[in-house]
Amino acid sequence: MNYITSGNNPLVKEVKLLKSRKHREGRGLFFIEGTRFVEEAVKERAQIQKLLISEELYESGAVQGFLSDGDSIGYEVYILPQKLFKEISDTENPQGILAVIKPDYFQTDRLMSGECSFLVLLDSIQDPGNMGTIIRTADAAGVQGIIASKGCVDIYNPKVLRATMGSVFHIPVCVSDDLAQTALTLKARGFKIYASHPGGSVDYFDIPSWTNSAVVIGNEANGISDEVAHCADLLVKIPMAGRAESLNASVAGALLMYEALRSKIK
């Protein structure tokens, strides 16, 4: 057990830096917050390196389990004053527990290897809430992996992680430097690429087969890039009965992912 008392402590500075993508990528680390999220990380054998706990939470006795997990998993535990914890936290009302974790980087190749039969491709999803919700929904719908274009918001952004509600530890998410190329590779391996598109020719509930398929969801303002749309086997439309011009990206994604699940169940 270690005690931190000063904001000048190097670990305090490091965690603060991990709020920026540049530093997360430079250091190969990210952090999550909250009792349930940390429990999920322990359960899923995430590579937790350090656990930071506020004095208040520590003294409440509610974190005994995490202390013994630390012994078996091998992470270090740090206790720090409530005020200092609030400074490093990314939330307005921190629960007082935060884990610094080394990400499991998934290789695009592994997802395309043939073990997976239903994937989601994300083309420049920008909003952290949407990104996190898509990961959560993909987990619920039984999607086997997500490939995000490098233009997407970082999945280790604290707001993305919060919105995943723990699903970031359940489903592989990897980044593609060239999403159109990834789509072509998937096609060559027998995947059908279905891209959600306002100019689509087929309603999403009329897709003939979901076996070995990948759904593409596009950017919130601009949709799917032309390069990626050109690789699609089908441009898929979500019917609009009212006067809304479009759907939220995570809603559009959910409709397509659940359509695939429905076709499996029915």
Residue 13 lies near a copy of itself (rule: CB under 8 A): no
- Contact letters (x/-) for a copy of itself, 134-173, by CB under 8 A? --xxxxxxxx-------------------x-xxx--xx--
Provide the minimum distance between the beta carbon of 131 and a copy of itself in the complex, in angstroms, as a whole number. Answer: 12
Residue 95 lies near a copy of itself (rule: CB under 8 A): no
Applying CB under 8 A, the span of 14-22, 85-93, 129-137, 179-187 interacting with a copy of itself comes to 129-137
Residue 79 lies near a copy of itself (rule: CB under 8 A): no
What are phi and psi for residue 72, nearest 5 degrees?
A: -80, -40
The binder of a copy of itself chosen from 205, 211, 222, 230 (CB under 8 A): 205
Parallel, antiparallel or unpaired: strands 213-217 and 118-122: parallel
SS3 state at 166: coil
Residue 109 lies near a copy of itself (rule: CB under 8 A): no
Nearest to 162 by CA among 37, 16, 51, 254: 37
Residue 261 to residue 227: CA distance in whole angstroms: 27
Residue 170 to residue 164: CA distance in whole angstroms: 10
Nearest to 17 by CA among 90, 104, 102, 78: 90
Residue 150 to residue 52: CA distance in whole angstroms: 31
Provide the minimum distance between the beta carbon of 33 and a copy of itself in the complex, in angstroms, as a whole number. Answer: 16
Contact footprint for a copy of itself (CB under 8 A): 129, 133, 136-143, 163, 165-167, 170-171, 203, 205, 238-248, 250-251, 254-255, 258, 261-262, 264-266
